């Protein structure tokens, strides 16, 4: 038994070490990549009304739809009009550009009303084979010139943006041919000599390199999370396992993030296929968790539609169902979420992301010249930036080549450190090894007003503690609870299903440390042998940590590591872009 436990601990730490090293390598290259790819945006710089009076802009959506496209279209129209531009819709994507006529329509301010929350794309999207032919692009160029349009914003995936880039390169030769055929006058060669394009990435897969998030990803995650939460109730009732197929043919971002937020037992994604015999490893993992004392009435397993093993063989939901049914004797059901993930209203985050990207796209377009590259508007962390379009497209296409060659480390490197860090978190929370050598006692306390996500932070805290050999304890009812000795040891089994719970399950209060009494808090931390403290909360948590750090010379008991996890629906913590809970609050407001 000891040899088997040692083997599993070694597997866990070797896997974690491999992913951490890969992530640290990505972080080291992140700054260099940022300098090479990203240029600063105009966000935050005041716009001058009528600055580009008389310019004409067209916007179209192409490829697969995603929530947030309408928010981007709305921002493009309204910012464009504010700057003095005439803005046109091109309906039905490239097909509408080729067909012309009623498909190219001037937008009005009021035509964008009541669309920011609507999913999909109200101006339509269609696959277009005609645009792949030169005659189709000639028709598209003619239709744009007839409306005086030489500024184009494309919203779509890498294929749609590549098409726009090639159209821009081909533009002079298209005009020359139209003039030679006497379809257009000679004047267009000087008046419309070049085409400016800017791209926005609308894709729920988050499979485009050079951006942290694409438009639609957050809304799709909401749909998946809602589905998992709904399934969880029936799964627990009947003690069943559920295997869910999640969209992601070449990118496992959705199942990866959904796996973390839904406390999934296992996930299968294309970028990080399981080593060895995945069937036996899955069974061994479940057996080991049971031996370690983990008690679950259900298991949720997420499978990307493009999941593969290390040899490149597909892993399908029915394969996982068969393994669990035959080898583990479980009652297993399969659910394919399908296009539900693309549907529904747009999340608050995607409404803001689409709006910010759409506004930046207009400014980038107006500042373009024949000498500047075509840009795609990206998100770097929480900052809107401009990225050279073809560099990002080439990197995205290279990911597909690396997947075919099964060079998975290179795939993760190209996808970026944000995706890698998510994999690190997942491996810690999924493969918890209950280390019984409890060296340090680490406490968590909630301070301030409750915020959605506090309990998820508590679960993550417990998971890392028990796997690293620390003893996790919760301080119930904030600082007053500490003074009343409401300090409880907690185990991994105690925090199952905490991720989706709102508020604070351990209780919180708005009083700061000084308001309750620093001396009393210091003595109680020493009395309960606390070696480190994690404070979760809003400005009161920030203030409490500051007050305690200022009193360390007076009270040596406070000379322990103290960290703050910002959680506040008000988003009012210094030095933090987004606090835990504000996104949940924004979504509640939008509803």
**DSSP per residue over 219-245, as a string?**
HHHHHHHHHHHHHHHHHHHHT-EEEEE
Contact by Cβ (8 Å): 303, 252: no
> Of 158, 205, 218, 583, which one is the catalytic site residue?
205
Report the distance separating Cα 318 and Cα 334, nearest Å.
7
Q: Where are the strands (E) in 64-103, listed by range?
A: 86-90
Place of tokens 């988050």: 206
Give the containing element (helix H, strand E) for 588.
helix 582-590
Tokens representing 199 are: 């791209």
Name the burial class of residue 555, with classes exposed (0-12), middle (13-18) and buried (19+) by CB atoms within 10 angstroms of its CB.
Answer: middle
Does the active-site annotation cover 205?
yes
Q: What angle do CA 513, 514, 518 make, to 5 degrees?
A: 75
Alpha helix segments (H runs only) across 38-68: none
C-beta separation of 521 from 557 below 8 A: no
Q: How far apart are CA 43 and CA 385, in angstroms?
A: 9
Strand partners, 561: none
176 three-class SS: helix
Which tokens in the block code for residue 451?
């915020």
Residues with catalytic function: 205
């Amino acid at each position: 038994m000891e040899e088997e436990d040692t083997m599993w601990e070694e597997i866990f730490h070797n896997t974690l070490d491999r992913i951490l090293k890969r992530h640290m390598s990505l972080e080291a290259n992140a700054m260099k990549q940022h300098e090479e790819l990203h240029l600063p945006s105009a966000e935050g710089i005041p716009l001058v009304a009528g600055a580009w009076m008389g310019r004409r802009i067209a916007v179209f959506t192409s490829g697969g739809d995603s929530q947030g496209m309408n928010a981007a279209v709305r921002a493009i129209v309204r910012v464009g009009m504010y700057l003095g531009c005439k803005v046109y819709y091109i309906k039905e994507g490239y097909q509408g550009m080729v067909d012309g006529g009623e498909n190219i329509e001037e937008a009005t301010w009021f035509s964008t009303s009541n669309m920011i929350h609507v999913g999909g794309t109200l101006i339509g999207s269609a696959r277009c084979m005609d645009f792949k032919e030169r005659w189709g692009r000639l028709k598209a160029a003619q239709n744009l010139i007839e409306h005086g349009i030489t500024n184009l914003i494309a919203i779509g995936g890498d294929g749609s943006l590549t098409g726009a880039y090639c159209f821009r390169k081909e533009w002079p030769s298209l005009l020359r041919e139209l003039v030679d055929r006497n379809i257009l006058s000679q004047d267009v060669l000087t008046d419309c000599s070049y085409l400016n394009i800017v791209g926005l990435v609308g894709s729920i897969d988050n499979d485009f390199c050079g951006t942290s998030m694409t438009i639609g990803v957050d809304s799709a995650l909401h749909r998946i999370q809602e589905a998992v939460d709904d399934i969880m109730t029936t799964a627990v009732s009947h003690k069943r396992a559920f295997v869910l197929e999640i969209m992601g043919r070449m990118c496992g971002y959705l199942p990866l993030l959904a796996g973390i937020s839904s406390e999934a037992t296992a996930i299968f994604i294309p970028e990080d296929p399981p080593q060895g015999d995945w069937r036996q490893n899955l069974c061994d993992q479940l057996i080991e968790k049971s031996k370690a004392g983990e008690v679950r009435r259900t298991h949720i397993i997420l499978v990307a539609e493009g999941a593969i093993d290390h040899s490149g063989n597909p892993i399908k939901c029915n394969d996982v169902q068969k393994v669990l049914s035959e080898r583990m004797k479980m009652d297993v059901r399969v659910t394919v979420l399908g296009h539900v993930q693309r549907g529904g209203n747009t999340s608050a985050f995607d409404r803001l992301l689409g709006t910010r990207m759409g506004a930046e796209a207009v400014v980038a377009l107006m500042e373009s010249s024949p000498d500047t590259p075509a840009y795609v508007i990206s998100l770097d962390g929480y900052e809107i930036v401009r990225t050279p379009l073809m560099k990002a497209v080439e990197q995205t296409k290279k990911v597909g080549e690396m997947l075919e060659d099964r060079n998975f480390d290179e795939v993760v490197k190209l996808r970026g450190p944000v995706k890698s860090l998510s994999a690190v978190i997942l491996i810690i929370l999924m493969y918890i090894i209950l280390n019984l050598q409890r060296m340090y006692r680490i406490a968590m306390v909630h301070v301030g007003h409750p915020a959605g996500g506090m309990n998820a932070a508590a679960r993550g805290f417990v998971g890392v503690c028990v796997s690293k050999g620390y003893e996790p304890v919760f301080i119930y009812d904030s600082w007053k609870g500490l003074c009343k000795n409401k300090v409880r040891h907690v185990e991994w089994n105690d925090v199952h299903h905490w991720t989706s719970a709102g508020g604070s399950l351990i209780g919180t209060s708005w009083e700061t440390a000084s308001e309750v009494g620093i001396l009393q808090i210091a003595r109680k931390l020493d009395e309960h042998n606390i070696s480190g403290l994690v404070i979760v909360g809003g400005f009161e948590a920030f203030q409490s940590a500051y007050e305690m750090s200022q009193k360390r010379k007076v009270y040596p008991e406070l000379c322990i590591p103290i960290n703050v996890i910002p959680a506040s629906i008000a988003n009012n913590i210094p030095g933090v872009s987004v606090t835990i809970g504000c996104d949940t609050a924004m979504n509640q407001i939008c509803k």
